[in-house]
Amino acid sequence: MADEEDETGFDDELDDGSSGVDVGHGRRKRLFSKELRCMMYGFGDDQNPYTESVDILEDLVIEFVTEMTHKAMSIGRQGRVQVEDIVFLIRKDPRKFARVKDLLTMNEELKRARKAFDEANYGS
């Protein structure tokens, strides 16, 4: 079974509390259990997904965020994570790229709308 576990985070499923291999990863409290369940249902899984699957997905997401962060730190301005770095890293993946562009555009629009709304309020 060991050769299947090249994914990080499985350790905590097998681990019986020994201080073993991967201390940081998967030993921490589950961060996204509730949200991931809803997400998995939304993406097509059953309404009650298996806890083990949710755990695997959480570990994968955390690893993904970690990798992206490390990569972003190493490009552009060193040691800092900036939006431009993330956009650069994502450029080859059309889905993610489009999503990030949309999110950032929408955020700007909402900020502008909020500001206009506040100013209108301020006038009255």
Query: Contact residues for another protein (CB under 8 A)?
Result: 4, 7, 31-32, 35-36, 38-46, 48-50, 52-53, 56-57, 60-62, 64-71, 73, 79-83, 86-87, 90-91, 93-107, 109-110, 113-114, 116-117, 121
Q: Which is closer to another protein, CB of 48 or CB of 124?
A: 48
Q: Which is closer to another protein, CB of 15 or CB of 87?
A: 87
Q: Which is closer to another protein, CB of 21 or CB of 106?
A: 106
The CB-of-21 to another protein minimum distance in angstroms stands at 14
SS3 assignment for 33-65? HHHHHHHHHHHCCCCCCCHHHHHHHHHHHHHHH
The CB-of-82 to another protein minimum distance in angstroms stands at 7
CA distance linking residue 50 with residue 35, whole number of Å: 14
Q: Which of 69, 65, 43 is nearest to 54 (CA)?
A: 43
The CB-of-18 to another protein minimum distance in angstroms stands at 21
CA distance linking residue 75 with residue 4, whole number of Å: 32
The answer to whether 9 and 22 are in contact (CB under 8 A) is yes
The CB-of-113 to another protein minimum distance in angstroms stands at 3
The answer to whether 76 and 82 are in contact (CB under 8 A) is yes
